[in-house]
Structure 1
Amino acid sequence: MAVTNSVNNSFFESVLRNFDKAAKHTRFDKGILDQIKACNSILRVKFPVKIGDKIEVIEAYRVQHSHHKLPCKGGIRFSMEVDQEEVMALASLMTYKCAIVNVPFGGGKGGIKIDSKKYSAFELEKITRRYTSELCKKNFIGPGIDVPAPDYGTGAREMSWILDTYSSLNPNDVNSQACVTGKPISQGGVRGRTEATGLGVFFGVREACSFAEDMEKLGLSTGLAGKRVIVQGLGNVGYHAAMYFQEAGAKLVGLIEYDGAIYDENGLDLHAVQAHRQKSGGIVNYPGAISFADPSEGLEQPCDILIPAALESVIHKGNADRIQAKIVGEAANGPLTSEADDILNKKGVLIIPDIYLNAGGVTVSYFEWLKNLSHVRYGRLEKRFNENMYKEVVDIIESTTGKRVSDLERKTILRGPDEIDLVHSGLEDTMINAYREIRDIYVSQEGVEDLRTAAFVCAINKIGVAYEELGIFP
């Protein structure tokens, strides 16, 4: 589901306001701050594609927000609501997001103004390939220049079309697989990319809930076990976040989709809800749960943690007062308006900002990019070595103690890491360390009143230092 252009404009303005608010708490002069805030390159193209018996002119964008580190990185979305303001806002958020999680990319974003549901797979392929050729002509794609990824309305299929088009136009580029991420595994994708953003949301919220001092202020205990969670959006991000919360012992009390919402204070089983959804075509009228025809009502039900994982600006000045959650984890881009931000902060709600919390996707995209550049699958060089080393340790323990480890224990201990284990481990470490950096600024720096401002301060500090060290400001 897309948003209106007026919302896109307010979204972009909201990003700028958040930047300006945080910039006051940094040491950089206006010139550097203006450079950090500015979009460096904006490509707007229109190209003809034959659809059926007619020629359609397609409008598309690619924005490179920052070149302080290369390549630029960011998704490509297919939506009728794509416009320059939205793409600029999302590209700037990518810059700050990458800085916060210490991924060495500049921010980028792309969009094609189409309703993908109206086109066949063959027609979408023609549009995607033509868009890619436009990017190649303008030098807006390449392993060291600009690396797209999936976003709203796109997935691994579209990324494989982009890769194939780029490779055919650059036959001598040995690193061509690294021109795009989010690819199928067979095309150089990385295991763990599908669930990466949702898993990153889980790791981020779990880390936030680990600080006793912060939880005490909210009247909550530490940890996720038993906490009541509402998730808005059962797409890729929301579904995986909900799944990991459920597996960690949290109680899913509410789920929200475009066609309505359901709530059960005793808890919902995610897999049973999905089965009901596939059978009936929606989540409403799930047995034993309260159903709401208006999805927004689901946001206002009692819970400890609310995860908006679908649309921009779903929490605004009109409903923020009715939000009962004590923690809001922004799994989507810009789910809170600036007015809602102010209202919830005054209520004492802990808001975990999007520019940190949904960085799991770009983090694992970074791992995929590195894999493509190294031409080696993660784990290939170490899995057997680790298993052999663990075996020697177990043998020593058994010979020293005279006791035998059970077959199940032996199998568990001797297992070396696969690619997905290493990817999940790297993502977990990234999200934990990044949250601690943000929280340190929030706790220790005077005048920083919320985690969003702290996250922007964290990003601006890292980008500002990078510009200084580039030596472009004499």
Structure 2
Amino acid sequence: MNINNPTADQETHFFSDVCKNFDHAAQFTKHDAGLLDQIKSCNSVYRFRFPIRKGNSFEVIDAWRVEHSHHQSPTKGGIRYSEMVNEDEVMALAALMTYKCAIVNVPFGGAKGGIKINPKSYSVGELENITRRYTVELIKKNFIGPSIDVPAPDYGSGEREMGWIADTYATMNPGQLDALGAVTGKPISLHGIAGRREATGRGVAIAVRECVSVGEDMQKIGLTAGLSGKKVIVQGLGNVGYYSAKFLSEFGAVIVGLCEFEGAIYNEDGLDVEAVFQHRKSTGSILGYAGAKQEFKNTMDGLEQPCDILVPAALENQITAQNIGSIKAKIIAEGANGPTSPEAEEAFYKAGGMIIPDMYANAGGVTVSYFEWLKNLSHVAFGRINRRFEENSNLNLVNMVEGITGVPLTPIQRATIVKGASELELVNSGLEDTMIRSYHEIREIYKSNPAIGTLRNAAMVGAINKIAVSYQNLGVWP
């Protein structure tokens, strides 16, 4: 089978859409056609099946791991647990990871994994069995390792599953000093990193804040500069959607709508994100929340309500040619991977809107995963060596200034100035710097050639150029 053309019985739209975006952006570069084909193609696709015991019977599980690009080592990407997983989807997500890492200057190639199950249909013990068996299969084929391929959480998986993977890999590789670097998104107790859980959502919020801060761009789409008071609808109240909404609210936006698979709620005066989250946790649904003025049984109806910014943070292909005409937002910030079809994007730009592309907007997760990987390789937490030294240095400086001026600081002022940075503060600082720098890199490319047309094309042009340089520096391409 040609790994870049999956069999006809599978859904083949997602990888094709990613390749269309690539081909369109590639025309604005000057690279050799063969090199462009190498960058676009999936290098390795591993499809496998394994049996598990479920009750008194056996069940065969379908699974995948795709390594899209080896221009950087290791490759990096999450593992999705979903009944909708298929080879085309995993290939598309792996490709997006390659471009995403290049966009935010994280030195990984792209990869992705998928296990075709509904996690809710299995006990904790069965999920552990599936996860550990999946890991063993990857180990057997050399598809996992701190310098080979580093998985992470994705839709349907989380810290618990990453902990199982870490333990399985370490057990199968006794004495390997960097074994815990074989997977990221682990619990803190297993040498994960502070801030990883909320990293993708925080990154989305920073991306939106940075985009709307540019007055020139906002004027073109009919908005004022700044996030304060902007009305936002978020689709998805999972990890990415919840933290996107939480941090956007903290940055000054008003969350007017929240959408989940069971329906949507809306209030033009704003919703309390934490209260909605707790309501859903206790009732199993966002519907029935007392602070909502409108409810919709159809999730898509929630996306079409009045707002300035729409954040689709659920699954791919949510905004299509069929519903884009009903979207009232001026900005779509893609928290999910591939939520907007190419046809919908074209129509949205023609209508005067702007899309913050997934390849950039949701790169916060892989950015902080990179920090976790570095932490695991260095075997020391960020801030552990220098935090106390910084505090003592700052304290000496404060004492000297107070002695010279004769003006004592209040205890709160003193604590604020003296405090050294914690791991979480360093991680958040690194994430914010990454998202801000990367946005303006994309925007400069976007402004450099009007024919590029969209931020997605600009982001892809930048990614292609960086990956091409990597291949040339490796001596793979002249």
TM range (shorter): over 0.9
Letter in 1 for 2:146: P
Match of 2:395 in 1: 391
Match of residue 406, structure 1, among 410, 413, 416: 410
The answer to whether the Cα contact below 8 Å between 2:10 and 2:86 also exists between their aligned partners in 1 is: no
Determine whether 1:157 maps to 2:160. Answer: yes
CA distance in 2, matches of 1:259, 1:51: 28
Determine whether 1:28 maps to 2:31. Answer: yes
1:271: how far off? 1.9
Match of 1:129 in 2: 132
CA distance in 1, matches of 2:44, 2:282: 47
Match of 1:329 in 2: 333
The answer to whether the Cα contact below 8 Å between 1:198 and 1:358 also exists between their aligned partners in 2 is: yes
1:265: how far off? 1.0
* Cα deviation code 1:330-358 (max 9, x no counterpart): 00001101111111010111100000000
Match of residue 200, structure 2, among 176, 197, 206: 197
Judge which range, 279-288 or 367-376, deviates more: 279-288
Against the structure 1 CA distance between its residues 252 and 7, is the aligned structure 2 distance closer, same or farther, given a 3 Å change threshold?
Answer: farther
Against the structure 1 CA distance between its residues 43 and 83, is the aligned structure 2 distance closer, same or farther, given a 3 Å change threshold?
Answer: same
1:447: how far off? 1.4
Determine whether 1:428 maps to 2:420. Answer: no
* Cα deviation code 1:385-426 (max 9, x no counterpart): 111111122112212221111011111111110000000000
CA distance in 2, matches of 1:460, 1:42: 21
Letter in 2 for 1:310: A
- Correspondence 1:78-227 to 2 at 5 A: 78-227=81-230
Match of 1:468 in 2: 472
The answer to whether the Cα contact below 8 Å between 2:100 and 2:363 also exists between their aligned partners in 1 is: yes
The answer to whether the Cα contact below 8 Å between 2:12 and 2:88 also exists between their aligned partners in 1 is: yes
**Partner SS state of residue 376, structure 2:** helix
Match of 2:372 in 1: 368
Match of 1:310 in 2: 314
**Partner SS state of residue 452, structure 2:** coil
1:55: how far off? 2.0
CA distance in 1, matches of 2:267, 2:131: 42
Against the structure 1 CA distance between its residues 7 and 192, is the aligned structure 2 distance closer, same or farther, given a 3 Å change threshold?
Answer: farther
> TM-score, with normalisation over the residues of structure 1?
0.97
The answer to whether the Cα contact below 8 Å between 2:331 and 2:353 also exists between their aligned partners in 1 is: yes
1:8: how far off? 4.4
CA distance in 1, matches of 2:283, 2:81: 27
Runs of 4+ in 1 over 6 A off after TM superposition: none
**Partner SS state of residue 447, structure 1:** helix
1:276: how far off? 2.8
Match of residue 233, structure 1, among 230, 236, 248: 236
CA distance in 2, matches of 1:97, 1:411: 39
Determine whether 1:295 maps to 2:282. Answer: no
Match of 2:48 in 1: 45
Letter in 1 for 2:461: V
CA distance in 1, matches of 2:74, 2:146: 7
The answer to whether the Cα contact below 8 Å between 1:199 and 1:240 also exists between their aligned partners in 2 is: yes
1:70: how far off? 0.3
CA distance in 2, matches of 1:465, 1:80: 38
**Partner SS state of residue 232, structure 2:** strand
Match of residue 277, structure 1, among 277, 280, 297: 280
CA distance in 1, matches of 2:264, 2:294: 8
CA distance in 1, matches of 2:257, 2:10: 26
1:281: how far off? 2.7
Letter in 1 for 2:60: V
1:126: how far off? 1.1
The answer to whether the Cα contact below 8 Å between 1:7 and 1:313 also exists between their aligned partners in 2 is: no
Judge which range, 363-372 or 46-55, deviates more: 46-55
**Partner SS state of residue 73, structure 1:** strand
1:83: how far off? 1.3
CA distance in 2, matches of 1:158, 1:214: 42
**Partner SS state of residue 421, structure 1:** helix
Structure 1 residue runs of 5 or longer lacking an equivalent are none
1:7: how far off? 9.2
Letter in 1 for 2:374: L
Judge which range, 264-273 or 183-192, deviates more: 264-273
Match of residue 356, structure 1, among 336, 354, 360: 360
Determine what percentage of the aligned residue pairs are the same residue: 58
Match of 2:265 in 1: 262
* Cα deviation code 1:117-136 (max 9, x no counterpart): 11111111111111111111
Against the structure 1 CA distance between its residues 127 and 279, is the aligned structure 2 distance closer, same or farther, given a 3 Å change threshold?
Answer: closer
Match of 2:4 in 1: none
What do you get for the CA RMSD once the two structures are aligned?
A: 1.3
1:473: how far off? 2.2
Determine whether 1:451 maps to 2:458. Answer: no
The answer to whether the Cα contact below 8 Å between 1:160 and 1:187 also exists between their aligned partners in 2 is: yes
CA distance in 1, matches of 2:10, 2:434: 31
Letter in 1 for 2:430: G
Against the structure 1 CA distance between its residues 109 and 380, is the aligned structure 2 distance closer, same or farther, given a 3 Å change threshold?
Answer: same
1:279: how far off? 3.8
Letter in 1 for 2:174: P
1:105: how far off? 0.2
The answer to whether the Cα contact below 8 Å between 2:330 and 2:353 also exists between their aligned partners in 1 is: yes
Match of 2:5 in 1: none
Judge which range, 430-439 or 5-14, deviates more: 5-14
CA distance in 1, matches of 2:388, 2:152: 32
* Cα deviation code 1:258-290 (max 9, x no counterpart): 111111111111122223323433122322511
The answer to whether the Cα contact below 8 Å between 1:160 and 1:184 also exists between their aligned partners in 2 is: yes
* Cα deviation code 1:149-198 (max 9, x no counterpart): 01111111111111111111110211000000000111110000000000
1:471: how far off? 1.0
> TM-score, with normalisation over the residues of structure 2?
0.96
Letter in 1 for 2:126: E
